[in-house]
Every structure is written in C-alpha cells, then in structure tokens.
Structure 1
Amino acid sequence: MIRPNLRHLDIFLSLCASGSVTTTARTLNLTQPAVSKAVSALEDVVQLRLFERRRNRLHLTADGIRIRDEAERLMNQVRFFSAEVEALQKSRRGEINILSIPSLAAGAIAGAIGDFSVSYPEINIRFGIGMSRQISTMVAQNRIDVGFIHGTSGLPEVTETFVAESEVWCLMTDGHPLCGLPKIRAEDLMGFPLIGFDVESPPSVQIREVFARAGLQPNVRAEINASLLAPHAVRDGTVAFVDPLSVPRSPNLVLKQFEPRIPLPIFILTHRNKTLSLPMLALCDTARHSIFRSLKKYGSRQ
C-alpha cells in the first residue's frame, strides 16, 4: 500500500503553486536540496514522474496534475482532522457550572461528577445546591451551564430534557407501627406527626390534595425544602414525605411507597441558545445513567 509522507506532500503542493524550487525553499524555510530531495522521494513512492523542466521552470506532468489534485484533497482532510483534534482538546479543558436540587445532588449527581472527573480530569466542575426556581432562573440567565430539578422551569430561555421519574415515599424509623404495611395511604397517617415538603413545592400541593379528597387533615409538624434533611428529623412515631433518592441506606430507617403515586419528574436544564460542548454532553449522559441506577433501587419509572 502506498503511503506518502505528509511533509513530502506539503512540499510538493507548495512547489506546484510556485513552480520554483528556490521560491518553495524560501517559503517553507528549507534548503533547495531539501525540496528537491522531498520531491524525488515522493516520485519514488508513487513511481511516477511528477515534474518536467521547460525553459528553466518546473511544469507538472499529466500524472503530476492528478497526484496534485489527490494531494490537495488529502491535505484538506488532514487540516480538517487537525482542526477537529484541536477543538476536542480545547473542549476537554475548561469549566462546567452545575446546580442541582438537594435530593438529586447528594446522591446521583455527586456520583456522576465523580465518574465524569475520571474521564475528563482537565475539566473543572463547579457544583452547588439550589432550589428549582433558583436553578431555572440561573440557567435562563446563562449564569450556570446545567441544572437538575424536579418538574419544568416554565421559562422560554430554557431547554428541558426529561430524564426519569422518582416519586414520593414515606420515611420512618425502624419499628414504626406502619412499617409492616406494603404502602402508606393518607388514612394510615392519621394520628402521626408528619414532616412535609416545602409548602410551595408541587409535591406538597399534591399531598394536601390527596388528604383533602379523603376528607382528612394532615398533622404536619414541620416542613423542609430538602429531603436529605429528613433522616435527621424523623423520630419514633414521625413520618416524613421524601424523595427516596436523597435518603441514604440505614438499618434504622424504613422507606415505604405513598399511595396514590405522586410523581417527581426529573429534568436536565440547559440554556436554549447554548451549544453544548462534548464534555457537557458527556456530563449530562453520565448524570442520566447515575439517576437510572439510583431509581432502580426503588422501582421508580425511567
């Protein structure tokens, strides 16, 4: 298989353009013998005569013209390849700013960042926790690159990519009277002190609607805006509504599904007018798989 030297092709094309060994040598900062040697080497490889001399000037032969055309196409591909490599190298260096709601941040997203950092060690990750409304606003204002929230942002500047659904579960201590039930209903919770979601959050509204339809008034003693705080707040007799993704495994805690099912849809937010770099796409894909793995533990929908 014929594999010409790319440097020889570059010198050959320069000589084609100038028709002068002297000019080519000056342009490429080479000696004239070096130019002549490169062309001779290329002729040896292709086993064709590429130039003929007429009136002290080099002219391409018919074979030389065809080789020139092929060489130009090849060198254009080489330049395109080099540009792509440079773009990839630049995209692998830089910074990605991320915000996530606490229930996703503490487990799935933190784990995804750890996995991502192994593959992209030159990318600096700035990772923080925020509430859904704050995250949506910061993505819309292009102040962060990627956001992870429950529900949609409702902002036209934001692209929302659905990932999967978690759902509301009930958290209690081991030995709680409701531990033996397969699922927990509003009726089962009467008489027990409850820890609810932030009153303005969508799941909090849906939980209150479930109790209202059953003609019941929940005994909410506390409201928190981050499910990851619930394991520290539950006591004997207390039941907390949580996103199970934020609850670490513990022999002293029990999780039970709440019925009817209250979904917690998970979305990735990016700015609508921002072209995502390859590392940002890789980060989102890594986060997606990390979320899937977390959800499998609870049988939630993907």
Structure 2
Amino acid sequence: MVLPSLRQLAIFRTLMETQSVTETANRHNITQPAVSKMLAQLEEHFGLQLFHRSRGRLHPGPDADRLYVETQRLLTQLDAFNDSVTAMRSARQGRLSIAAIPTLAATALALTVARFLETRPNVRVDLLAMNSDTVVEQVLKHQVELGFVHQSVSEPSLNAQIVGHSEIVCVTRRDHRLAALEVVTPKDLRRERQVFLDAQAPPSHFVREAFQQFGIAPEIIIETNMSHAAKVIAQFGGGVALIDPWVTALEDGGDLATVAFRPRVPLRISCLSSIYRPRSRLADHFIADLKSSIATLEVTNAFIGSGDISQ
C-alpha cells in the first residue's frame, strides 16, 4: 500500500483547521486547484469521502474528523522528531557516557559536566570512575563514548587526543618545613614519611625513577591508588604526598601547601574514543568545554595547563 505523502497530510490538516481552500492554498504557497487536486487524490487513496460542499464551502465528514485526529498525532510526532534531530545537531539533547580515572572524574570532568549541563537540560551524562586499564577496555567495547586517562595509549583501535596536562606535585601541611621551598626534590624528602600512588599507577613509575636518579630510596609509609586519599592523609599530618595537582586545583588550599616536584613528572590528559564509533556532536562539544575549563584553571594554577606539555 502506497502511503500518502507528508505534504498531502500537512495540507489536509490545514484544510481541516481553516475549512477554506483559499486560506490553505495561501498558507502552503500553492494554487487553489492544487489543493482541490490533492484532496481528490487523498479521497481516492483512502476510498473515503472526506468533505462535502455546501453553499460554496467545504464541510468535513465523520471520516475526515477521525483522519484529522490521526494526522495531527502523526505530524506532531514528526515535529518532535525534527526537534530532536535539531537538538542533537546543536548538542542540546542526547546522552553522553564517560569513563575516567578517579582523580580526573572527581575534578576536571565533574566540573565540566556541571557547566556543560547548565545550558543543556535535556542531556544526560554518565560519568564513571575506574582504573586506567578498565577505562581503555570500556572505550574499546563501546560501553562508553569517551575515556580519560593519564597514560599514553598505543591501542590501534583508539583515537587518543591530548586535551590538557599537569605534573606530580608535593602536597604537605602549610606548617611543614617543605612548604617554604619553591621546589622539592627527592633529596629534600629524605627522612620524610611519604605517601605514594601505588606502583600500578603509571605516574608512580616515574616518581620512583626520580628517586633512583638521586640514589635515594623513598620512605613510603602509605601507598594508595587515589590521589584524593593521599591528599587527606597529608592534610592531617600523616605524611608528604606526591600526587596529581588536580585534587587541590578546585580548592582554596586551606592548610595545605602545593610545591613543585623535580625532576618533573608530566601527566598528560588523554581523551580516548573508538575509531569504529565516530564521536557525537555532544562529545565534541564536551571536549571543547573541558579544554575551556582547563584553560581557565591554568591562569591561577601553575601545575595545570591546556594542550600538550610541549605547547
């Protein structure tokens, strides 16, 4: 069965609402004979007499009334569909799924999600925190659209884009002797109780190598896979933490001091997406907003930067 065109149904709806061939023709920018022809085609198509004429005017019959209800429902749904497509094109509607290492999920990404949704009430975001390997796995399996990690990823099925960077810093209480230094080295940390990221964390490897360069064995009292946990331990005097600066970037510092650590241990923020799943407009807009958030923060935080480290 050949279905009537959407244009025919739209003209029929207008005819029902105006009950005037002249007004319908004007609204659709066509001639009156074209409206009459369309009506005849529609009646022939459905095998129904939709209108009858009386004193030069069209009057809808019972079948026309019933057809109008269904036509109105269909065209309203079509309008909603078009609105949804327009919203998706402008990244104002849809769902975005993100996986990230905990430090980034709780700071840069949480901040960006909040700002992102301020102007997008019809968008839903899933933000999941997990370790680096699981983030990569989730993107590869298309369980999430975007993944954010610190490590470099050589997986050929993934696109990796550097959206920002930071560096390992020394975090301690403001009343600690190290807080007065401009730079902290492994030598300065001798005989200090140290809080390290666990050995499985990629940045931790480089920190340990830095100690080896100085011929110093770190005095690790606590290992954790959460920079936030290390920060809290340092805050309450449990030790000196060598961590990602993002955990203090959104705070005023309070009784904590953040000091540069040398040799420098760079941390690149890699945005991962699958080469087999083209990024949505929503994802592209989110990445742009994330870069903007990082660029704003780098103005007041010397340990955070936009783009790659070499830039």
Partner-residue secondary structure (3-state), 2:177: coil
Q: How far did residue 85 of structure 1 move?
A: 5.5
CA distance in 1, matches of 2:270, 2:228: 19
Q: Which residue of 1 aligns with 2:197?
A: 197
- Mapping of 1:81-92 within 5 angstroms? 86-90=84-88, 92=92
Q: Which residue of 2 aligns with 1:213?
A: 213
Quickly say closer, same or farther: Cα 1:6–1:123, change in 2 above 3 A. farther
Structure 2 residue aligned with 1:262, among 238, 262, 265?
Answer: 265
The letter for the 2-side match of 1:172 is T
Partner-residue secondary structure (3-state), 1:178: helix
Q: Which residue of 2 aligns with 1:297?
A: 300
Q: Which residue of 2 aligns with 1:105?
A: 105
Give the TM-score of the pair, scaled to structure 2. Answer: 0.71
Structure 2 residue aligned with 1:8, among 28, 31, 41?
Answer: 28
- Mapping of 1:131-170 within 5 angstroms? 131-170=131-170
Q: How far did residue 116 of structure 1 move?
A: 1.1
2:172, 2:258 within 8 Å by CA — same for their partners in 1? yes
Gapped regions of structure 2 (runs ≥ 5): 1-24, 44-49, 54-79, 307-311
Q: How far did residue 271 of structure 1 move?
A: 1.6
CA distance in 2, matches of 1:270, 1:296: 28
Range that drifts further, 214-223 or 92-101: 92-101
The letter for the 1-side match of 2:134 is Q
Q: Which residue of 1 aligns with 2:10?
A: none
Partner-residue secondary structure (3-state), 1:301: strand
CA distance in 2, matches of 1:269, 1:162: 9
Range that drifts further, 211-220 or 83-92: 83-92
Quickly say closer, same or farther: Cα 1:6–1:277, change in 2 above 3 A. farther
Q: How far did residue 270 of structure 1 move?
A: 1.4
CA distance in 1, matches of 2:134, 2:216: 33
Q: How far did residue 199 of structure 1 move?
A: 0.3
CA distance in 2, matches of 1:230, 1:137: 26
Partner-residue secondary structure (3-state), 1:296: coil
Range that drifts further, 167-176 or 89-98: 89-98
Partner-residue secondary structure (3-state), 1:199: coil
Q: Which residue of 2 aligns with 1:273?
A: 276
Q: How far did residue 32 of structure 1 move?
A: 11
Quickly say closer, same or farther: Cα 1:6–1:145, change in 2 above 3 A. farther
- Mapping of 1:231-250 within 5 angstroms? 231-234=231-234, 235-236=236-237, 238-247=239-248, 248-250=251-253
The letter for the 1-side match of 2:205 is V
Q: Deviations over 1:89-148 (max 9, x none)?
A: 356433211122122122221111111111211111111211111111100110011111
Range that drifts further, 240-249 or 134-143: 240-249
Quickly say closer, same or farther: Cα 1:198–1:6, change in 2 above 3 A. farther
CA distance in 1, matches of 2:26, 2:42: 14
Q: Deviations over 1:160-214 (max 9, x none)?
A: 1111210000000121111111110110001101111120222111111111111
Q: Deviations over 1:11-70 (max 9, x none)?
A: 35994xxxxx6533324679799xxxxxxxxxxxxxxxxxxxxxxxxxxxxxxxxxxxxx
2:37 pairs with 1:23: yes
The letter for the 1-side match of 2:152 is T
CA distance in 2, matches of 1:293, 1:230: 25
The letter for the 2-side match of 1:87 is V
Q: How far did residue 283 of structure 1 move?
A: 1.5
Partner-residue secondary structure (3-state), 2:221: strand
1:164, 1:265 within 8 Å by CA — same for their partners in 2? yes
Partner-residue secondary structure (3-state), 2:291: helix
How many residues in Structure 1 have an aligned counterpart in Structure 2? 248
Range that drifts further, 261-270 or 225-234: 225-234
Partner-residue secondary structure (3-state), 2:191: coil
- Residue identity over aligned pairs, in percent, reads 25
1:167, 1:262 within 8 Å by CA — same for their partners in 2? yes
